[in-house]
Amino acid sequence: MPAPSSIPCLVVDDQQTMRSLVRTGLQQLGFRTIHEAADGEDGLRHMLSRPVQLVISDYNMPKLDGLGLLRAIRSHPPIQKTAFIMLTGRADKELVQRAVQFGVNNYLVKPFTVGTLKEKIEAIFGVLA
C-alpha cells in the first residue's frame, strides 16, 4: 500500500487552471511533492533534473504535446519507468490507442473528480494508503 506522500509527481499542462485542479486533487489524496510544468519540454526538462514517479500530463500543449513527452520519457532510460497518466479533453479512442502504443499507464478524461483521479492512480500504484 504505497503512501501518496512518498510518490513525487509532476503535473504538466499549459493551463494554470488545470494544473491547479490536478494539484488540488492530488493534495486531497495525500500527495505532498507536486511539481508543475507548462508544456512537454518544460516537463521533460524538469524530469531530467528532478525525476518523479508519476506524471499527469495534458495531451494538447504547445512545444511538445503529451504524446511527445510520453515518447521522450519512455525512450530515455533514466526516466523511462515513470508512471504516466494522460489527461484528455474527451474519451478519444484514437488518442488513447496511440498513448497505449507508447506505454501510457492510464488516462483521465476532463473534467474529472477527485474520485476518478484516485481510481486512475490506484490502477497504477495499487490502493493508496
Partner 1 sequence: MDPLAAIRETFFQECEEQLAELESGLLAMEGGDQDPETINAVFRAVHSIKGGAGAFSLEALIRFAHVFETALDEMRSGRLAPSNDVLKSMLRAADVLADLVRAAHAGDEAEHPGAATLAEELRTMSGAAGAEDESEEDWGDFEFQPMAVAVEGAEAPAAAPAGFKVAFKPRADLYAKANEAALLLRELTRLGHAEVELDAHDVPPLNEIDPEAAYLSWTVTLTGDADETSIREVFEFVDGDCELEVTPLGGSAESEGGEPAFDLSSLLARVQGDAPAEAAPEAPVEAFEPVAPPPPAPVVAPVVAAAPPPAAPPAAANETAAEGQAAGGPRKTEAGATIRVDLDRVDRLIDLVGELVINQAVLAQRVMEAGLARASAVAMGLDELEQLTREIQDSVMAIRAQPVKSVFQRMPRLVREVAAMTGKPVRLVTEGEGTEVDKTVIERLADPLTHMIRNAIDHGLENPEKRAAAGKPAEGVVKLSAAHRSGRIVIEVSDDGGGINRERVKGIAIEKGLISAEATLSDEEIDNLIFMPGFSTAAEVSDISGRGVGMDVVRRSIQALGGRITISSRPGKGSTFTMSLPLTLAVLDGMVVSVNNQTLVAPITAIVETLQPKAEDVHSLGGHARVISIRGGFVPLIDVGMALGYRNEPLPATQGVALLIEGEGGARAALLCDAIQGQRQVVIKSLEANYRQVPGVAAATILGDGRVALILDIDTIVTVSRGDMRKAG
- Contacts with partner 1, residue ranges (CB under 8 A): 2, 6-8, 14-18, 20-21, 24, 38, 41-42, 44-45, 48-49, 51-53, 60-62, 64, 68, 71-72, 74-83, 89-93, 96-98, 100-107, 110-111, 120, 123-126
Helix H or strand E segment including 82:
none
Q: How far is the CB of 20 from partner 1 (least distance, A)?
A: 4
Phi, psi dihedral angles at 82 (to 5 degrees): -65, 130
| Residue closer to partner 1, measured from CB, 42 or 57 | 42
> Rounded to an integer, what distance in angstroms lies between the CA atom of residue 129 and that of residue 125?
10
Q: How far is the CB of 56 from partner 1 (least distance, A)?
A: 14
Q: Measured in whole angstroms, how far is the alpha carbon of residue 48 from the centre of its chain?
A: 15
